[in-house]
Amino acid sequence: MKKIFLSSMLFLSIVLLSGCQKNVETKKEETINPFSPSSMVNTYETSKGKINDSVQKENEKINKALEESELNE
């Protein structure tokens, strides 16, 4: 029982302290540390840019479809 507890605590501490690996568009690996505010801000900024780009592309598709169907005045 003691061995199971110690091994699970060791595994959990390794996972929490190591951070996560993330691929950026430049194919460069960047470590995301969940305890670092600057890392979290960088991740937020990257995600926000991707979301804005996707929304803009979808809006352009919708506007084009409306123009083609002549429903947009």
Model pLDDT for residues 28-52, shown as the tens digit of each residue: 556 667 777 787 788 888 888 889 9
Query: Among residues 35, 40, 36, 42, which one has the least CA distance to residue 16?
Result: 35
Cα maximum dimension of the chain: 73
Give me the pLDDT at residue 47, please: 86
Beta strand segments in the chain, E: 20-23, 29-32
Q: What is the pLDDT of residue 1?
A: 83
